Structure 1
Amino acid sequence: MSSRILFLSLCISGCVGSIAPAAAQSAEAVKPGPLIAGAYAQGGFIIAHSPRVKHLVTAHPTGFELNLQRQLNGSAPWHAWYRYPKVGMALVYYDYHNSILGKSYAASIYLNKTFWRTERQQLSFRLGPGIGYFPNRFDLETNHKNTFVSSALNATIQARAEYDVALTPKVAMLLGVAFNHYSNGATAKPNLGINIPTLIVGLNYHQQRNAVPLPLVPGADVPAELGKNFLNVSTSVAFKQRNESDTKLYAVNSVSVIGGRRVNRKSNLLVGLEGFYDRSLIAEQRDTVPAGRSLQDVKKAGIIFGHELLFGRLAFDTHLGFYLYNPYKSNKFYYERIGLKYHFTERLFGAMDLKVHRGAADALEWKIGVKL
């Protein structure tokens, strides 16, 4: 569906845009960091996190991955703030050895942060979002047992610990432990999502091992916004399906007024007010409220507290909200949100946020806003 395609394109453009050098450190062209190419085999198991999916956990999925990553070189100040991570793109294939689930294909982008390094060894952690394609999705008539996946396109999050040890000056063996999650953010139902822990073994080819990054320009480690307050005003739209039998997509809108402060090089702290209008709740009441009784107001308002982890123009958002106005109590009194925000200009930003109620996805929000 177009909503999920936009989610992928915004995610990739945001991350790639933030990865690009913010400014050259001198009049001379900055040499890009060295590349690392990898090919890995994977094997794991599916977590049966609900009684509704136990019938699908019948085999161990196996897969294969190709990826390409580049060592950041210090051409932007945030490279040094995070001790020069790598950035990469990966293509991942899984065979679930189950005719109901079939196979999946995914593309993701990620940051890879090294925590321990010697001349021959590296221990690192990798995290990144992407999109997955599932040909065998839920269908009420032809594939009603697939309660894991109800849409062809799904968001994915991959987290991984990696150990890289040199076999030659250029070639290394990689061992890893990973966690993979696939979900469509409740835009279609059922949306129980797949969680796959995996073991990984493969080879890396290093263009240049342990490259030396550029030195940080004096003063570049102090952002101009440090210690300053700002105001974000934004609006969002999301589309969600009520249940498996009602395939109509209902619009969900929100408005936010959020104040923030840059507290250090990597972080903003946030507090603000939000309002929500979820049209699926009107349809829900029409199915359940006795005839002649008036429907409750489905509008909601809340206060949120949040944090932004900053990577140049890109930010990783985490929010915790509490409803202050909630006449139709269709959910708990609080909600969580995680997302990615990208500043197209100094003032204009876009975001993709997953709003969650107690671990269950509520809506995938597309947001546009201005910073004042």
Structure 2
Amino acid sequence: MAVSHPTGVELNMQRQTNGSQPWHAWYRYPRIGLALVYYNYHNPVLDRSYAATVYISKSLFRKPQQELNFRLGTGLAYFSNPFDLDTNHKNSIVSSRISATLQMRFDYDVAVTEHLGVLLGLGLNHYSNGATTKPNLGINLPTIFLGFNYHQQRPFVPLVASPSGLPADLGRNFLNLSTSLGFKQLNPANKQKYLVQSVSVLGGRRVSRKSNLLIGAEGFYDRSLVAQLRDTARTSEKLPDVKKAGVLIGHELLFGQLAFVTHLGFYLYNPYKSNDFYYERLGLKYHFTNNLFGAIDLKVHRGSADVLEFKAGLKL
């Protein structure tokens, strides 16, 4: 694929947390925002992308006239010219019009008037469909940007001057029961989507204002491995079991009802060794009630996306 230098435009709207919820003070009053991002890749194979990202921006230092922030966000992106076996077979990077996006960046804001600031920064935008459709090399796009910020109130004065008391469930144990569904494409020539399922039983403990620790077991049934095995096996008799089971340790970084999830798992039952003995998971989890939650997770094998999981579960 030809080398190019993408250019883009971003419009973002953000709201300053003010201490109305306890976690605002625990994270020193971050901002929550929505970013609309457009890129022209100046490459006929990739063409253009449009994305919407929700994010949280945490201040690393903040003074009346300047501030340095770190932003982390996720959302969805639309690509105008994805892979097509007949019309765009050179595009091995993006194979579906809709992909997930992850955005990380540092930005430095300097006030030029009471409400207007000049914005300088470095960022990284990642795009991937989580192997739902193949090929899926994905895009990692480092960026340098220049822009302007309009501040409704500057300097910021919080409603709560210092972090509030400890959460009621600190030090308590809990149990998470969950199941997930995902879909995978075996290869670019085979457009069929195969169902991937999992079940998990995790024990956890809230160890601080911001953190839960987890340990538990889970099982997987990936139907794409059945098709893969039948394509490669010399005989259809005595094929190995494609089901997998393992144990994991995990962490949840808490933002009120929302949590950023990281897992490291190890397969203990893995007759058909289609991958490494371990896996990782990154995701977002949201508690709709005290007992009911949903999550969107990306399961990964050694940095390569395995499946995008849509999860529902109970907390007991």
Please give the TM-score of this superposition, normalised by the length of structure 1: 0.84
* 1:122 aligned to which of 62, 67, 70: 67
| Counterpart AA for 2:68 | L
Structure with the higher helix share, 1 or 2? 1
2:304 corresponds to: 360
Aligned amino acid, residue 73 of structure 1: N
Match of residue 295 from structure 1: 239
Amino acid at match of 1:323: Y
Q: Which letter does structure 1 place at the counterpart of 2:230?
A: R
Cα contact 1:174–1:201 (8 A) shared by 2: yes
Matched, 1:215 2:170: no
Paired position in structure 2 for 1:330? 274
Quote the Cα distance in structure 2 between the aligned partners of 1:112 and 1:285.
45
d(CA) in 2 for partners of 1:346, 1:118? 38
Identical counterparts, % of pairs: 66
Q: Take 1:245 and 1:278, find their aligned partners in 2: how far apart are those partners?
A: 19
Tell me what 1:237 maps to.
181
Deviation at 1:217, TM superposition (A): 8.7
Q: Which of the residues 53, 56, 60 maps onto 1:111?
A: 56
Specify the alignment match of 2:38 in structure 1: 93
Give the letter for the 2:205 counterpart: R
How far does residue 135 in structure 1 lie from its aligned partner after superposition? 1.1
**Matched-pair contact (CA < 8 Å) for 2:25–2:162:** no
Counterpart residue type for residue 363 of structure 1: V
Q: 1:217 to 1:346 in 2, by over 3 A?
A: farther
Number of aligned residue pairs: 316
Partner Cα separation in structure 1 for residue 211 and residue 165 of structure 2:
13
Partner of 2:8: 63
Counterparts of 1:332 and 1:348, CA distance in 2: 32
CA contact under 8 A between 2:230 and 2:236: conserved in structure 1?
Answer: no
Q: Deviations over 1:308-357 (max 9, x none)?
A: 00000000000000000000000000000000000000000000000000
CA contact (8 A) 2:185 2:191 kept: yes
**TM-score, reference length from structure 2:** 0.98
1:256 equivalent in structure 2:
200
Higher-RCO chain (CA-CA 8 Å, sequence separation at least 6): 1
Gaps of 5+ in 2: none
Q: Distance in 2 between the 1:245 and 1:187 partners?
A: 14
Tell me which amino acid in the other structure corresponds to 1:357: H
Distance (Å, rounded) in 1 between the aligned partners of 2:142 and 2:150: 25
Secondary structure of 2:89's match?
coil
Please state how far the C-alpha of 1:221 moved relative to its aligned partner: 2.4
Structure with greater strand percent: 2
CA distance in 2, matches of 1:217, 1:175: 30
Task: Give the counterpart letter for 1:63 in structure 2.
Answer: G
Structure 2: distance between partners of 1:242 and 1:221: 51
Taking a change above 3 Å as real, the CA distance of residues 217 and 96 of structure 1, as seen in their structure-2 partners, is: closer
Check the 8 A contact 2:300/2:306 in 1, yes or no. Answer: yes
Distance (whole Å) between structure 2 residues aligned to residue 292 and residue 252 of structure 1: 22
Contact preservation (8 Å) 2:37, 2:52: yes
**Retained in 2: the 8 A contact 1:314–1:343?**
yes
The question of whether the paired residues in 2 share the 8 Å contact of 1:77 and 1:216 is answered with no
**Aligned pairs (5 A) from 1:154-169:** 154-169=99-114
1:264-322 Cα distance to aligned partner (Å, 9 max, x none): 00000000000000000000011011135321100100000000000000000000000
- Report the Cα offset of residue 261 of structure 1: 0.2
State the secondary structure of the residue aligned to 1:88.
Answer: strand
SS at match of 2:64: coil
Shift in Å, 1:210:
1.9
Q: Which residue of 2 aligns with 1:275?
A: 219
Residues 240-259 of structure 1 deviation map (CA, whole Å, 9 limit, x = unaligned): 00111111000000000000
Quote the Cα distance in structure 1 between the aligned partners of 2:64 and 2:79.
41
Instruction: Give 1:314's aligned amino acid.
Output: L
Q: CA deviation at 1:216?
A: 6.2
SS at match of 1:79: helix
CA positional deviation for 1:215: 1.5
Q: Which residue of 2 aligns with 1:41?
A: none
Is 1:370 matched with 2:314? yes
1:97–1:217 Cα change, 3 Å: closer
Give the Cα separation in 2 of the matches to 1:362 and 1:289: 22
In 2, are the aligned partners of 1:173 and 1:202 still within 8 Å (CA)? Answer: yes
SS in 2 for 1:247: strand
